[in-house]
Amino acid sequence: SQLTHTDSIDLGPRPGHSWGAVMGVEFVYSAVLCFVYLNCAASTRNNPWQAPNGFIGLAVGFTFVAGGYAARAVAPVVMNSA
């Protein structure tokens, strides 16, 4: 089925979960995303300046996939890459 301009999307917590759980999941996966990005970008041993490997995109992509699948039981996940 398609959404029309009169339909709405519920972005609240799923039944059995609270807004606190939603904020907790958001906080945890935002922290994980920052941790992964900064470790991949700042690691000079695994990603030297002379020959960058470009794994940061793959690592961040897998982090988004993991966060989306893990948090979907709590709330409809809309992960923002900004």
CA atoms within 13 A on the CB side of 71: 27
Reported pTM: 0.74
- Average pLDDT of the residues in 55-68: 89
Say how far apart CA 17 and CA 27 lie, in whole Å: 16
d(CA 11, CA 77): 8
H-helix or E-strand containing 38?
Answer: helix 19-42
More confident residue, 45 or 66: 66
Predicted confidence (pLDDT) per residue in 18-59, tens digit: 999 988 988 898 899 999 988 888 888 877 888 877 888 899
